[in-house]
Amino acid sequence: MPLIGGLAIAGALAMAVSAASAFEPERTECIAPANPGGGWDFTCRQVGKSLQDLGLIKSTMQVVNLSGGGGGVAFAEVVNKRNDANDLIIAASSATATRLAQNAYPGNTMDQVRWLAAVGADYGVIAVAKDSEINTLPELLEKIKDDPSSVSIGGGSAVGGWDHLKVLIAAQKAGISDVRSVKYIAFAGGGEAVTQLLAGSLQAFTGDLSEAKGFVDSGDIKVLAVLAPERLEGEFADMPTAKEQGIDAIGANWRGFYAPGGMSGEAYEFWVDAIGTLYASDEWKAVMETNGLAPLDLQGAEFEAFVRDSVDNITALSKEIGILQ
């Protein structure tokens, strides 16, 4: 498409969002509740760049990495100190729903913030360093069966968080009766977990495809399994699923945003419309394809209902696995 045509479309998109809301953000900010290199960081940076490229925001979105407590530090910061911020959005995912489901954000609930929109779903992966002697998911799980203490698996969520749960689901499907014997080590982000994997401190990594992709491209890690119902397309087609290896484990991590609970109605509508317009754009479809994101088109009230269902479902799963009583 000629540049002038692209600019015209971007301008039209910006006008459409402006018309839907009288609010115009001035100094936009996105909190990524983890260190750089993980899925929340990816969500903030990619969405911020795309919103600016499409003319939906006027200037560069500032990304602030605020790690700790599996997202709990950021959640508390927003609820307690920035409850009425109108220019602020916060990256969220299934990991957020998991921590809320397990009451891991002390004194906080999903109703204290406003849920904006989803931007796709990110399938989970289990990977090892490229030079690892382990080549399949069943091999890894067999080593855990034989000697649980010999295999340390790291991820970017807290103990009991979504990265941890994905491994436990796979272990459960592989017939490991006491999944609590699986040795999981929590890091402040997926990037940090992969760094420790490459340093030899871990034997495996659990995360999402978007945060693993750069390390796959660089040749540092090999993916043992994607936790998708069937093989993904395009450049991800060579990655085997857990299911085809006899481990019927599915793990899709939704990605989206919440906003401060005291955000004004006009600001809330602006962000819902802006992220919805972004999601519908060809530019975002290309981002999704490049990063292995699956479709998940939800905004506003529909997204809030979806998050509520996620929290309820993960609560039930956590009780089944023994993380919650």
pLDDT at position 1, please?
Answer: 35
Q: What is the mean pLDDT of residues 252-270?
A: 97
Query: Are residue 113 and residue 205 in the same domain, yes or no?
Result: no
Specify whether 220 is located in the same domain as 317: no
Same domain as 114, residue 256:
yes
Q: Do 159 and 21 fall into the same domain?
A: no
* Section 77-86 average pLDDT: 98
Task: Kindly state whether residues 116 and 130 are assigned to the same domain.
Answer: no
Residue-wise pLDDT tens digits, 108-165: 999 999 999 999 998 999 999 999 999 999 999 999 999 999 999 999 988 888 999 9
Q: What is the pLDDT of residue 12?
A: 52
Which residue segment(s) compose the domain that 160 sits in? 123-245
- What CA–CA distance (Å, rounded) separates 240 from 226? 6
Query: Are residue 298 and residue 238 in the same domain, yes or no?
Result: no
* DSSP H helices in the chain: 3-20, 39-53, 72-81, 94-101, 137-146, 162-173, 190-198, 209-217, 265-280, 282-291, 300-321
pLDDT of residue 234: 85
Kindly report the CATH number assigned to the domain that includes residue 39. Answer: 3.40.190.150
Residue % of the chain over a pLDDT of 90 = 77
Mark whether 8 and 116 lie in a shared domain: yes
Q: Which of 215, 245, 275 is the last residue of a domain?
A: 245
Residues 113 and 134 in one domain: no
* Confidence bin at 4 (pLDDT 50/70/90): very low
- Of 201, 223, 245, which residue sits at a domain end? 245
Domain co-membership, 267 together with 317: yes
Regarding whether 232 and 127 lie in a shared domain, the answer is yes
10 and 108, same domain (yes or no):
yes
Look over the chain and give the mean of its residue pLDDT values, rounded to a whole number: 91
pLDDT digits (tens, 9 = 90+) for 9-56: 555 555 555 445 589 999 999 999 999 988 899 999 999 999 999 999
- Burial of 263-278, coded b for 16+ CB within 10 Å and e otherwise, reads beeebbbbbbbbbbbb
CATH number at residue 212: 3.40.190.10
First to last CA, the chain: 56
Among 214, 245, 276, the domain boundary falls at 245
Total residue count of the chain as it appears in this document: 325
Q: Are residues 136 and 113 located together in one domain of the fold?
A: no
Number of domains into which the chain is organized: 2
